[in-house]
Amino acid sequence: MIILVVNAGSSSLKYQLINSIDGEVYASGNCERIGIAGSKITYKRPDKADFEPLKIVMDLSNHSVAMEKVISLLADKEVGCIKSMDQIDAVGHRVLHGGEKFAGSYVINKDVIEAIKDCIPLGPLHNPANLAGIEACQKAMPGKPQVAVFDTAFHQTMPEEAYMYALPYSYYEDYGVRRYGFHGTSHQYVSQEAAKALGRPAESLKIITCHLGNGSSLAAVKYGKCVDTSMGLTPLAGVPMGTRCGDIDPAVIKYVMEEDPSLTIKDIDRIMNKESGVLGISGVSSDFRDLAQASEQGNQRAALALKMFAYHVKKYIGSYAAAMGGVDAVVFTAGIGENTPEIREAAVEGLGFMGIKVDPAKNLSCNRVGGDISAADATVKVLVIPTNEELMIARETERLTKQA
């Protein structure tokens, strides 16, 4: 099936026209600065090696205008890849937060839209933008089947001991305060691909997936289902990230606010989301390539940031092996997981006692393409698998529209 995958942000709309069977991407791009001066659309044709990507500067007053333009590009006589909109079988939307209402993907109807609206308090920045993307597609392609794929859904199988916080129970009942987890589409995709690579059914495997990018999270996937994940109520929890602090003692907030009474809770929120993580520690950058360079040049805090990141990933790997009573495979994915052998090596260093060991040469040579990097005598497979959230969304969209 030919699926249009849409990832709408508050002022952006990323799109990919993708074949859900073989994963071929016919067109992709981004509409940027929607509703802001200086908006533009990029349009690429990954299926054509000689295609010069287009950058079109034009007024995009809202998501609907952007969507209309995307469709006209896709079906354009000169640069398009389809004859008409009719060739698009369905649209798959990435939606950030599905709360407890969505444990899977859903064909979008009025009830689903209402339920996504109900989850706005949990995803105040993303859910309204995702709804704007859905509305824009409904307007531009009336009657076309549309599917919502949630970042939180894959984690809904966690048992209550893993998702509850030890706070007054009424916070859970009244406000929905609990661990939800994110990057679900990526964790689901790479765990399924890992099972394929190992030639075994996912239902027989215990897999730890490490999605390490600007935002990073790990998941424990036991017999095909997520049983724990490192992000929480929001994507701030877990390992330290590019600019997010990850797990800290919650009492730090009160302490710091008492030390510096000028700080407001909004400041704290900004500092913990945007000024912490490896950026906060190093004072250099949130980008791991910059940190590696600074560290090589002798910057001690950049080196510390890298060490802390790998150490926390390692602690989660150990704890998830304990949570599942063993582990068959550890999977690295996303920008850092796919491209940074030093972090992969450091994150499993010393885990030989658990059967986790990488082969240094294989680890160095697998960048971007992925592969098995475990040492010959390892009992646990260590795999690098490039993530593909768009393909997962396209597959889910195909599955749901065929069922409908």
User: Judged by CB, which is closer to ligand ADP: 213, or 232?
Assistant: 213
The answer to whether residue 388 forms part of the interface with ligand ADP (CB under 6 A) is no
Closest to 155 (Cα-Cα) out of 81, 214, 235: 235
* Shortest Cβ 86–ligand ADP spacing (Å): 33
DSSP secondary structure letters along 279-306: HHHHSS-S-HHHHHHHHHTT-HHHHHHH
CA 287 to the chain's CA centroid = 17
Contact 370, 386 (CB under 8 A): yes
Size of the site for ligand ADP (CB under 6 A): 12
- Verify binding: residue 335, ligand ADP, rule CB under 6 A: yes
Of residues 268-307, those binding ligand ADP (CB under 6 A): 287-289
CB of 164 to ligand ADP, least distance (A): 27
* CB-based contact 351:357 (threshold 8 Å): yes
Over the window 182 to 221, marking each residue x when it contacts ligand ADP by CB under 6 A and - when it does not, the resulting string is: -------------------------------xxx------
Indicate the residue among 202 and 210 with the shorter CB distance to ligand ADP. 210
Q: How far is the CB of 333 from ligand ADP (least distance, A)?
A: 8
Element (H, E) at 175: helix 169-175
Q: Is 94 helix (H, G, I), strand (E, B) or coil?
A: strand
Shorter beta-carbon distance to ligand ADP: residue 108 or 336: 336
Sort 166 into a burial class: Cβ within 10 Å, 0-12 / 13-18 / 19+: exposed
Residue 229 CA, distance from chain mean position: 13
Which x/- pattern, by CB under 6 A, does the window 235-264 give for ligand ADP?
-------x----------------------
Binding to ligand ADP by residue 345, rule CB under 6 A? Answer: no
* Least distance CB 331 / ligand ADP (angstroms): 14
Which part of the chain contacts ligand ADP (CB under 6 A), choosing from 97-105, 116-124, 200-208, 329-337? 329-337
Residue labelled with tokens 């082969």: 359
**Is 50 one of the annotated active-site residues of the chain?**
no
Nearer to ligand ADP by C-beta: 74 or 334?
334
Catalytic residue from among 89, 151, 228, 328: 151
- Report CA dihedral (356, 360, 362, 365) to the nearest 10 degrees: 140
**Residue partners of 245: CB distance under 8 A and separation at least 6:** 236, 272, 276, 277, 280
When asked if residue 334 is in the footprint of ligand ADP (CB under 6 A), the reply is yes
Maximum separation of any 2 CA atoms in the chain, in Å: 64
Which tokens hold the place of 219?
Answer: 């998941």
Which residues here bind ligand ADP, judged by CB under 6 A?
A: 213-215, 242, 287-289, 334-336, 339-340
Q: Which residues are catalytic?
A: 151
